């Protein structure tokens, strides 16, 4: 009977040792997986930082393009305004000439 109990104790001890070994292996795997997770988080943070930098650069490029376009539009508007002023001046000259022609025509008719 004593040997049965000894064998049971040996089996329990072996089971405990196996469990300790399994636990140690699981802890080691957990550490390795945590290390991989940490590495992936760092890569993700770096990729996010890189993408944010890229986005900011694109925003600056777009804003510069808008500013350049607005400047071109403003310059063209000045040209249009200058042409409109010339047209207005020419229309005034035409009106003045028409008035003079009417005066001349009325004088010629009177005489």
Task: Convert the pLDDT of each residue in 42-64 to its tens digit.
Answer: 999 999 999 999 999 999 999 99
Report the SS3 class of residue 111.
coil
Q: For the whole prediction, is pTM greater than 0.75? A: no
Task: Convert the pLDDT of each residue in 12-26 to its tens digit.
Answer: 888 989 999 999 999
What whole-number distance in Å separates Cα of residue 16 and Cα of residue 7? 14
């Amino acid at each position: 009977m004593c040997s049965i109990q000894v064998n049971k104790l040996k089996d329990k001890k072996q089971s405990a040792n196996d469990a300790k070994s399994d636990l140690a292996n699981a802890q080691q795997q957990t550490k390795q997986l945590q290390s991989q997770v940490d590495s992936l988080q760092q890569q993700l943070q770096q990729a996010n930082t890189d993408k944010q930098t890229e986005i900011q650069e694109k925003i600056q490029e777009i804003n510069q393009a808008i500013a350049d376009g607005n400047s071109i539009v403003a310059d063209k508007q000045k040209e249009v305004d200058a042409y409109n002023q010339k047209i207005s001046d020419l229309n005034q000259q035409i009106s003045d000439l028409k008035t003079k022609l009417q005066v001349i025509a009325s004088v010629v008719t009177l005489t």
